[in-house]
Amino acid sequence: MTRILVMIPSGEVYDHNNVRWYKYADVQRSINHYHNIGDAFVYDSSLKLLNFEKLSVLEIANPAMENIDRLREEYDYVFLRGSNYIHNTMNWRQTIPVLKRLGLPVLGFGIGAQAPVKGKLELSDETRTVLRMMADSTTSIGVRGAYSAQVLWDIGIKNVRIIGCPTAFRRNDPHLEIKLPALDTVRKVGLTLRREVSPTYARDIEQYLTFHRELVKQVAGRFDTTLMAQGEVEEKKLVFGTQEQKEEAVAALKANKWVADWFFDEKIEQLYRERLFYSDVVADYENLVRQKDLVLGYRLHGNLMALSNGVPSVYFTYDSRTVEFAETFQIPSFDVFSGKEFRLEDYWDQSLFDRFNRAYFHGYREMHGFLRENNIDTAMVDVSKKPAQSERKVA
């Protein structure tokens, strides 16, 4: 019986390995709170790669230290949900004393670093200590891409394996491939939005938002388009809110000078009111993308959810994190700061997606190997083994 603790979860678990936001049915409870539902995608996907009978949370914010000894006896290992932890402002709360007392293996499950626009990434002593404790407790530490691996290497952590993100492999299909239909048959498109972005990581906010605006209008004018939000308060209010809250959201967007000047014009307002989608349940996003012919846009995990379900996706990169994802999985991508015009036809090329197909298969093997070398009971298919004669397909 495998028993797992999780550090920094994102949502509540139901039906064993499915995730939704806490008390998701009470929408008013969190309608004024920003949470990125993409983090719940990663949590949900992580659980789908693991075999386990018991799951609980390792508290690091306000831990009851007297319970740590009991947890050591009741659980087998801890995993840190993949996210953007390796940066200069990360607050680890009481992680160091908790892990020291706990003494269990701590699996880094696709964690990543974020590079600032200017200067070198500086890590606190606390972050360095936590990362080294994790690396020392397991055979390897799993990171999302080459940049994150280099950051760890530079601080002396050598047992690094690039595994991408669990969301890519959530369907447990090692032979998943993207096959492009004829472009003139594409009708239903999802566009993942990221209106809020930090100038620390995206070098030109005006260029970012104006390009974002024009892309939304271009795609919505050509296809039956769903705009897919992932947690911004105003977008949530426009989907879930009362009529009064919807108008508050529009007023707030118009009052934000950057947004009003560079993004939220009359056409975007109309599209927001008519075509916006948001949910606090991961399965709702998966069901949505399965109905699409194409998903493109800015959200790492929203796009990756589509690819993991065999739906073509094009990434729009704007910081080191999005670039690292696109490079790790060889996903067709467009640099929003390139100054070039985006033409979907330039990306509707099977050879581009064949690069993703190869990278996906390699990544699947890496993820499976990573879990096995760390003695993790995994639900992933072992692609290194040939099927028995009775299992082979007969022509």
DSSP letter for each residue of 201-230: TSS-HHHHHHHHHHHHHHHHHHSEEEEE--
Query: What pLDDT does 389 receive?
Result: 45
pLDDT at 297 over 50: yes
Query: What pLDDT does 390 receive?
Result: 40
386: confidence class by pLDDT, cuts 50, 70, 90: low
**pLDDT tens per residue, range 186-208:** 999 999 999 999 898 899 999 99
State how far the alpha carbon of 69 is from the alpha carbons of 74, 80, 294, in Å: 9, 19, 49
Q: Determine the CATH number of domain 3-173+360-373.
A: 3.40.50
For 283-321, letters b (16+ CB in 10 Å) and e give eebbebbeebbbbbbbbbbbbbbbbbbebbbbbbbbbbb
**Among 296, 344, 287, 114, which Cα is nearest to 194's?**
296
**Start and end residues for every CATH 3.40.50 domain found in the chain:** 3-173+360-373, 183-354
pLDDT at 308 over 90: yes
Query: What pLDDT does 393 receive?
Result: 39
Rounded mean pLDDT, 155-176: 98
**pLDDT tens per residue, range 40-98:** 999 999 999 999 999 999 999 999 999 999 999 999 999 999 999 999 899 999 999 99
Whole-number average pLDDT of the chain: 95
Query: What pLDDT does 118 receive?
Result: 85
**pLDDT tens per residue, range 347-364:** 999 999 999 999 999 999
pLDDT at 313 over 60: yes
**pLDDT tens per residue, range 146-164:** 999 999 999 999 999 999 9
What does the alpha-carbon distance between residue 238 and residue 330 come to, in Å, rounded to a whole number? 35
Strand partners, 50: 378
Contact 320, 147 (CB under 8 A): yes
Q: Which residue has the higher pLDDT, 198 or 342?
A: 342
State the maximum Cα–Cα separation within the chain, in Å, rounded to a whole number: 67
- Count other Cβ atoms within 10 Å, centred on residue 128: 15
> Pairing state of beta strands 188-192 and 224-228?
parallel
Rounded mean pLDDT, 12-16: 98
Query: What pLDDT does 391 receive?
Result: 43
The fold adopted by the segment(s) 183-354 is Rossmann fold (3.40.50)
Q: Would the pTM of this model clear 0.85, i.e. be above it? A: yes
Query: What pLDDT does 387 receive?
Result: 52
